[in-house]
């Protein structure tokens, strides 16, 4: 059956809103999911005065508050009468208000006539201390805000097509727990993250060697990232590979001048043949000389490595298996 969450995602650039609408629908359609969501969000620090976890009775999205500059992504009305504002982010930072109120979003939202506020992001990025210290602000006991991956286990609470769509979408996007063989590489435990990144950096040997064979100069950035450059035989001027954006895996191609469409066409054909579920998007990103066009291929470590991969040799091999056809399709002729 076609996944409508995934197929409609490509039709909009407002992907935070798109995800919010599907999540809101799941909360309204599935009682088990709504209860599991409430237990996760309110179980630690948002229970009713009687000590029970409240039920979610009403869900509204994109709610404007007259006389303010605020429009939270989702408003929950609970069985104990409280209202909870939810702000959802993918990779974007909090936005500032207009000239009359230039405070960041969460600070402004705490002034609204609501009883609680929660914040969800793809990766860890704590809000300012005045938000964290506010009694209205709800967050996990061991983290400053919720992550999208926190909700992934909840989709298996019942057999429901909408939950199945979201579960599949979260797996494609990498909104899943850290791979058991690798561990957390981004988050609030910097010592452990640093150790995991150093260990992962050792798993690029085959990929580095193959990229060099194809004519690339290979450099390392931020421990686990790879930068490929200076390849006269490729359609791309640069390639950036980052496996540590939460659980997502990014393969970013910067086409040479005049080669955007040719590069895009080749990558579309190649990604269609990959066994991994990927997403391909063209976008303009800022650089020192101004904005340039890049082509992003994103997937997740779960897709590339599976869930049973344990040995370093297996991981090294699977990384190359995914990346090699992408590098090869960009070659215009073999290096001398």
Q: What CATH number is attached to the domain comprising 207?
A: 3.90.1150
Q: How far apart are CA 327 and CA 239, in angstroms?
A: 9
Q: Are residues 37 and 165 in the same domain?
A: yes
Q: Are residues 147 and 23 in the same domain?
A: yes
Q: What is the pLDDT of residue 282?
A: 94
Q: What is the pLDDT of residue 190?
A: 64
Asked whether residue 156 is assigned to any structural domain, the reply reads: yes
Q: Which long-range contacts (CB under 8 A, 24 or more apart) does 92-101 make?
A: 92/16, 93/125, 94/127, 97/69, 98/69, 100/69, 101/68, 101/69
- Inform me whether the pLDDT recorded for 329 exceeds 80: yes
Q: Are residues 161 and 40 in the same domain?
A: yes
Mean local confidence (pLDDT), 301-330: 90
Asked whether residue 93 is assigned to any structural domain, the reply reads: yes
Asked whether residue 179 is assigned to any structural domain, the reply reads: no
Number of domains into which the chain is organized: 2
List Cβ neighbours of 171 (8 Å cut-off, separation of 6 or more).
Answer: 152, 277, 300, 302, 303
Q: What is the pLDDT of residues 121-169, one digit of tens each?
A: 988 889 999 999 999 999 998 889 999 999 999 999 999 999 999 999 9
Q: How many CB atoms lie within 10 A of CB 36?
A: 19
Q: What is the pLDDT of residues 103-130, one digit of tens each?
A: 899 999 999 999 999 999 988 889 999 9
List Cβ neighbours of 85 (8 Å cut-off, separation of 6 or more).
Answer: 72, 74, 75, 109, 112, 114, 116, 117, 118
Q: Are residues 209 and 153 in the same domain?
A: no
Q: Are residues 10 and 123 in the same domain?
A: yes
Mean local confidence (pLDDT), 219-230: 88
Whole-Å CA distances, 262 to 181, 252, 266, 269:
37, 15, 6, 11
Asked whether residue 103 is assigned to any structural domain, the reply reads: yes
Asked whether residue 22 is assigned to any structural domain, the reply reads: yes
Asked whether residue 182 is assigned to any structural domain, the reply reads: no
Asked whether residue 105 is assigned to any structural domain, the reply reads: yes
Q: Are residues 127 and 52 in the same domain?
A: yes
Q: What is the pLDDT of residue 163?
A: 97
Q: Are residues 101 and 230 in the same domain?
A: no
Q: What is the pLDDT of residue 50?
A: 82
Asked whether residue 188 is assigned to any structural domain, the reply reads: no
Tell me which range, 91-95, 102-106, 317-321, is most confidently predicted by mean pLDDT. Answer: 317-321
Q: How far apart are CA 49 and CA 79, in angstroms?
A: 12
By the 8 A CB rule, do 266 and 246 touch? no
Task: Give the residue with greater pLDDT, 38 vs 93.
Answer: 38
Q: Are residues 165 and 210 in the same domain?
A: no
- Inform me whether the pLDDT recorded for 334 exceeds 80: no
- Residue-wise over 8-35: b if at least 16 C-beta within 10 A, else e? ebeeeeeebebbbbbbbbbbeebeebbb
Mean local confidence (pLDDT), 286-310: 88
pLDDT class of 187 with cuts at 50, 70, 90: low
Q: Are residues 56 and 166 in the same domain?
A: yes
Q: What one-character DSSP code corresponds to residue 229?
A: E
Mean local confidence (pLDDT), 280-308: 90
Q: Are residues 157 and 221 in the same domain?
A: no
Q: Are residues 113 and 238 in the same domain?
A: no
Print the domain residue range for 200. Answer: 196-329
**Site of tokens 């070659």:** 331
Helical residues (DSSP H) of the chain, grouped into ranges: 4-9, 15-29, 31-42, 105-109, 129-132, 161-173, 190-201, 205-213, 260-273, 301-305, 312-329
Q: Quick one: tokens of 113?
A: 């006539």
Q: What is the pLDDT of residue 192?
A: 66
Q: Are residues 163 and 296 in the same domain?
A: no
Kindly state the percentage of the chain with pLDDT values over 70. 95
């Amino acid at each position: 059956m076609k996944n409508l969450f995934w197929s409609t995602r490509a039709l909009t650039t407002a992907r935070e809103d798109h995800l919010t609408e599907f999540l809101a629908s799941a909360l309204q359609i599935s009682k088990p999911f709504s209860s599991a969501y409430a237990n996760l969000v309110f179980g630690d620090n948002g229970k009713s005065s009687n000590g029970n976890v409240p039920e979610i009775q009403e869900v509204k999205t994109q709610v404007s508050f007259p006389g303010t500059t605020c429009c939270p992504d989702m408003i929950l009305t609970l069985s104990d009468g409280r209202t909870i504002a939810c702000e959802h982010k993918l990779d974007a930072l909090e936005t500032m208000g207009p000239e009359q109120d230039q405070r960041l979003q969460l600070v402004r939202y705490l002034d609204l006539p609501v009883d609680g506020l929660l914040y969800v992001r793809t990766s860890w990025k704590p809000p300012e201390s005045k938000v964290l210290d506010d009694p209205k602000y709800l967050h996990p006991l061991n983290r400053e805000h919720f992550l999208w991956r926190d909700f992934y286990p909840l989709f298996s609470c019942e057999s429901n097509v909408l939950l199945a769509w979201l579960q599949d979408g979260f797996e494609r996007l990498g909104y899943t727990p850290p791979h058991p063989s690798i561990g957390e590489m981004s988050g609030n435990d910097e010592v452990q993250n640093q150790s995991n990144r150093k260990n992962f950096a050792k798993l690029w040997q085959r990929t580095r060697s193959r990229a060099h064979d194809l004519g690339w100069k290979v450099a390392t950035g931020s421990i686990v990232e790879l930068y490929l450059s200076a390849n006269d035989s490729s359609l791309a001027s640069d390639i950036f590979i980052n496996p540590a954006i939460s659980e997502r895996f990014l393969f970013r191609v910067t086409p040479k001048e005049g080669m955007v469409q040719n590069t895009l066409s080749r990558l579309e054909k190649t990604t269609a043949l990959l066994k991994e579920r990927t997403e391909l998007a063209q976008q303009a990103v800022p650089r020192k000389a101004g904005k340039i066009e890049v082509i992003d291929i994103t997937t997740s470590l779960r897709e590339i490595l599976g869930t049973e991969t344990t040995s370093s040799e297996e991981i090294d091999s699977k990384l190359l298996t995914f990346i090699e056809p992408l590098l090869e399709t960009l070659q215009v002729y073999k290096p001398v």
